[in-house]
Amino acid sequence: MADDPEEGMLSWDESVFRDEHVFEIDYVPETFQHREGQMRNLTYALRPAVRGSRPLNVVVRGPPGTGKTTSIQKLFDEVGAQTSDVRTIRVNCQVNATRYSVFSRLFEGTFDYEPPSSGISFKKLFSQIAEKLVEDDRVLVVALDDVNYLFYENEASDTLYSLLRAHEEHPGAKIGVIVVSSDPSLDVIDELDSRVQSVFRPEDVYFPVYDQPEIVDILDERVRRGFHDGVIGRETLEYVAELTADSGDLRVGIDLLRRAGLNAEMRASRSVERQDVEESYEQSKYINLSRSLSGLTDTEQVLLEVIAHHDGEQAGEVYEAFREQTDLGYTRYSEIVNKLDQLGLIDAEYAEVDGRGRSRSLSLSYEKDAVLDRLE
């Protein structure tokens, strides 16, 4: 009956989702919209690898949530379907932020098992990877995703130098590098040592922020694959797209759809309404913050918490509070401040201080409660 109050309600074993995985961050869509030009440029750079030659190196740039990682994953899947003579390995540099950890991940991707946890030098680790490539006559394509984290730890030049010079120590080793940066303020080439700049002459592929009509198209595809028919109306979808465009990060919209769907289920509703979106947005809008915090060490998290409690104070005053908890010296403290600033978690601004010259004031880039809640 049309007026049955139970008609719009879910039973206990029903769901609004057709496939909830569609709304997870690591999902690779079958159709990848509004990035055709970037995919063409990446394919052009990797085409020599499929023919057994060293591919062109690439720098992929763009703000977070603009499709860079998805492009790499789709391209690597396509290369894998074409040939087994190319080994493609994506390294998450937020997790693997040193040269040794990057090459440990490459070892695992090359041999399909992890290297020994101790007792193996970098030189030996590197040699075994290169020798295996030569032995199997395979081309290796390495994607250093979120390479900005290697720069924050001053590991980028050494890592790239080892990869780009591999063929000199191991003739026949063919390695191409895709460097993926999500830090708009980072000039990858300028920040590299001159010894790396001389051999690293990459193609440049830029990923701009999606505009609102593009966001609607992309989210509509997710809705059709992830929700049952009729779960979310056009007006609600466009509201999600509007919030996503404001954030500049497509991942906000994808996460927002999932959370709104879960909220609808909590109401036992068969449809996602505007109120479900509004209630979910407070969580989804901080997805980039949560991601950045997850990559911090315990010490870096301690400093961020100290800054939260001393927001806007001078760097020297913040350091005194930080030292009480960690006993670390000022040099290491300054390095962590620079990293948090580069990640966009804090603003470290220089200002004139009476009688003390120029000093940095440190303040959070996000609301204090949002940071502290996610550090717990």
Q: CA 233, CA 285: separation in Å to the nearest integer? A: 21
Does 98 count as an annotated binding residue? no
26: number of Cβ within 10 Å: 8
Does 52 count as an annotated binding residue? no
Does 368 count as an annotated binding residue? no
| Burial of 141 from C-beta contacts in 10 A (0-12 / 13-18 / 19+) | buried
Nearest Cα neighbor of 220 from 237, 207, 235, 236 is: 237
Going by the DSSP 8-state scheme, the letter that residue 3 receives in this structure is: T
Does 210 count as an annotated binding residue? yes
Nearest Cα neighbor of 259 from 95, 57, 43, 23 is: 23
Nearest Cα neighbor of 195 from 164, 155, 166 is: 164
Q: CA 226, CA 220: separation in Å to the nearest integer? A: 10
Going by the DSSP 8-state scheme, the letter that residue 4 receives in this structure is: -
In DSSP terms, which residues pair with 346 in a beta bridge? 364
Going by the DSSP 8-state scheme, the letter that residue 22 receives in this structure is: G
Q: CA 323, CA 307: separation in Å to the nearest integer? A: 12
Does 330 count as an annotated binding residue? no
How is residue 83 written in tokens?
């040939």
Task: State the binding site.
Answer: 66-70, 210, 222
- Residue numbering of the annotated binding site for ATP: 66-70, 210, 222
